A and B are shown apart, each in its own frame.
Chain A
C-alpha cells in the first residue's frame, strides 16, 4: 500500500506576539489522497495559510508531524527538505512571486535547472507547460510584461515543472478579477482531471466549489 501524498497529525503552531502566545493551529490532522482536490476555507486568521505552509515544509510546527509520500518532514535536514519541496511539491502563491528579471520561460525553467535537468530537456518542458496554461506565445516576455492572470498561469506552470506529487496553492485567485480567476479555476479543474493532487487555500467560493472536499477552519482548528 502506497503512502498518501500528504498526512498531518496533531499539528500545532504557536507564535509569540507582543509577549503573548498566539495559537495559530490547535491540533490539526488531515490526510490528502492521491488525485484529491481539497479546498481549505475559513475566515482570515483561522490558520489555513499556516496549515498550508506546514504541509509544504516551509514552516515547522510547534508539535505534530507532516508526512509527504510517507516521509516525515521533521526527520529531514534543510538540504533534504529543500529537495523534497523542489521535486515533490508545487507551490502557487497569491502574489505569483515570479522573478521579474526573468522571462516566463526562464521562470518555468528555474526549478528544473535547480533539479539538474539538462537545458534542452527543461526548455522543451517549459514550452510544453506554457502551452498547457495557454501562454506559449508569451514565453519570452518578462514577468513584468504580463498581466496578473498571465503571471498566475506562469506560476502554475512553474509549480508543475518538476512533476510534483501535490500542488499547494495559497489564495491563487486572491489578486485576480472574476474573469481572470475563472481561467485559473478552469486550469485547476484540468489539472485535477489529469490526476494532479491539489490543496487550495481560498476565500473564493467558486474555487472551493470545484474541490472534491472542503475543509472549514476556524480558530486554528478544523470544524467539520
Chain B
C-alpha cells in the first residue's frame, strides 16, 4: 500500500469531509482560473478580433485610434489606391463610421453607419442574403438589431437619412436603399443597430463626399513578419496619418484596460492564498485529529518519510480533484461573467474577457498543484515531528 493509495482511501472513506474540502478548493481554483483567463484573455480576444480577416494594420487620423473620434482621413480613395499599388500589401480598404438615421414608419431611428469597400473589408459576416459588390450604390447591409428597428428584411427598401446637424442649417440627405443582406458587424456592441453601404454612398450621407473622408483604412500585408517595417515605411510616407499595427492597438487597448489586469492579479493572488490556507487548515486539522494514529504508525515502524508522503499525497489528491472541479466551475462562471462584462456599452459583442486556452488551464492546474504541495508542508512537518511516546501517553489517558 503506497502513501498515495493510503491517502486516497482516507479521502474516499470520509466522503462528507472530502466533499466539503473539495467544494472549498474548487471555488478557489475556479476563481484562480477565471483570473488567469482574464489576465491574458483581453489581449488574446482583442488581437483575435482585429486579425479575424487578416488585416494587420489600421490607418487612422493622426493622434486617434479606430472610431475613437469623429475625425476623418481626407482623400481616402487616393490613399487606398496608393496602398494597393505597394507590392508589400495584399489588400487595403477604407471604412467610414458615422451616426445616421433610418426611417421607421413616421419616425426616425438612430443607427450607426459603415461606409465600406466590399472588395477589402474585415468588418462583417453575411448571415442572410448577399454581400454588396464594389459598385453597388443602391444596396445596404443591415445588422439584426437594425433590421428589427427598421422593420425590414432582405429585399425590402429602407430609407437612410444623414445626421442632422443643428449648427448647420441644411436639409439632411436622404437615400432609399435595397437591403441586400443581413450581417453581423464584428465590432458592434450587443444590440447595436448598424447598417453598411459602399463608401461613396455613406460619404454622401455623412457629408464627407467632398473630402472623400474615411474613419480608418485597413491594410493587409503579405507577411506578418513584414508588418513592423511596413508600418514604419507607411508612417514616413503618410505623416498626416496614424499607422498602427495590431500589436500597437493591443498595447493601447491594454493600457486602457490595465485595471482589469491589476484586478485579475489581485484576485488571482487572493484565491491562491485562500487555497493555500484552506488546504493547509484542512490538513492541519486532519493531522491534529490523527496524532494518536500517526504516533502509533511511527511506533510500529512506519517511517517519517511515509507519514510525510501520506499527508502530502492527501493534499495533492485533494488539490487535483478540486482543480478538476474548479476548472469546470471556472469555465461556467467565466461565461456568466463574460456576458455581464461584454454588455458594457461600447464593447464589441464578439469580444471576450475570459478566453479559455490550453495554456491558462495548464498554468492554473500547475499553480494549484504547487499550492497543494506547499500547503501540505506544514501539516506534513507536524506529522513527522509528532513525539511518539508523549502522544501515546496522552492518548492512553
Contacts and interface: CB of A to CB of B under 8 A. Distances in A.
Nearest to B302: A114
B229 interface: no
Contact of B300 (A59, A109, A158, A170): A158
Interface string B1-37: 1100010011001100000000000000000000000
Nearest to A60: B389
Contacts of B392: 53, 58, 93
A56 B299 contact: yes
Nearest to A174: B396
A189 B339 CA distance: 76
Contacts of A99: 293, 297
B298 interface: yes
Given A53-B389, A78-B304, A58 B299 contact: yes
Contacts of A100: 293
A55 B57 CA distance: 83
Interface string A98-117: 01111000100111011100
Interface string A148-166: 0000000000110010000
Interface string B377-397: 000000000001100110110
A110 B1 contact: yes
Contacts of A106: 1, 9
Contacts of A90: 300
For chain A, the bracket of interface size reads: 35 or more
Given A59-B389, A101-B14, A106-B1, A111 B396 contact: no
B389 A113 contact: no
Q: What secondary structure prevails in chain B residues at the interface with A?
A: helix
Interface stretch (A35-43, A81-89, A130-138, A213-221): A81-89
A169 B230 CA distance: 87
A58 B388 contact: yes
B306 interface: yes
Contacts of B13: 101, 142
A109 B296 contact: no
B302 A82 contact: yes
A114 B301 contact: yes
Contacts of A65: none
A188 interface: no
Contacts of B304: 78-79, 82
B303 interface: yes
Interface in B291-318: 292-293, 296-304, 306
Interface string A45-71: 000010001001011000000000000
A11 B298 CA distance: 22
Contact of A114 (B296, B303, B396): B303
B299 A91 contact: yes
Nearest to B393: A49
Contact of A111 (B10, B292, B302, B395): B302
Nearest to B296: A97
A130 to B, nearest CB: 16
A83 B306 CA distance: 12
A34 B303 CA distance: 27
Contacts of B393: 49
Given A49-B393, A106-B1, A93 B303 contact: no
Contacts of A84: 301
A82 B301 contact: yes
A101 B301 contact: no
Contact of A95 (B302, B303, B396): B396
Contacts of B395: 95, 97
A85 B301 contact: yes
A94 interface: yes
A108 to B, nearest CB: 11
B9 A82 contact: no
Contact of A91 (B1, B293, B300, B396): B300
A25 to B, nearest CB: 12
A95 B292 CA distance: 10
Contact of A86 (B9, B292, B302, B396): B302
A94 B396 contact: yes
A115 B306 CA distance: 11
Interface in B354-397: 388-389, 392-393, 395-396
A102 to B, nearest CB: 6
Contacts of A78: 304
Between A83, A87, A100, A115, the greatest number of chain B beta carbons within 10 A of the residue's beta carbon is seen for: A100
Given A95-B395, A97-B292, A99-B293, A87 B300 contact: no
Nearest to B303: A82
Nearest to B13: A101
Given A49-B396, A53-B392, A95-B395, A79 B296 contact: no
B275 to A, nearest CB: 25
B303 A109 contact: no
Nearest to A89: B301
A96 to B, nearest CB: 9
B1 A87 contact: no
Interface of B: 1-2, 6, 9-10, 13-14, 292-293, 296-304, 306, 388-389, 392-393, 395-396
29 contacts: A49-B393, A49-B396, A53-B392, A56-B299, A58-B388, A58-B392, A79-B303, A82-B303, A82-B304, A83-B303, A84-B301, A85-B301, A86-B300, A86-B302, A90-B300, A93-B296, A93-B299, A93-B392, A95-B395, A95-B396, A97-B293, A101-B13, A110-B1, A110-B297, A111-B300, A111-B301, A111-B302, A115-B301, A142-B13
Q: Which 10 A-B pairs have the closest CB atoms?
A: A86-B301, A59-B389, A97-B296, A85-B301, A113-B1, A101-B13, A58-B388, A58-B299, A101-B10, A53-B389
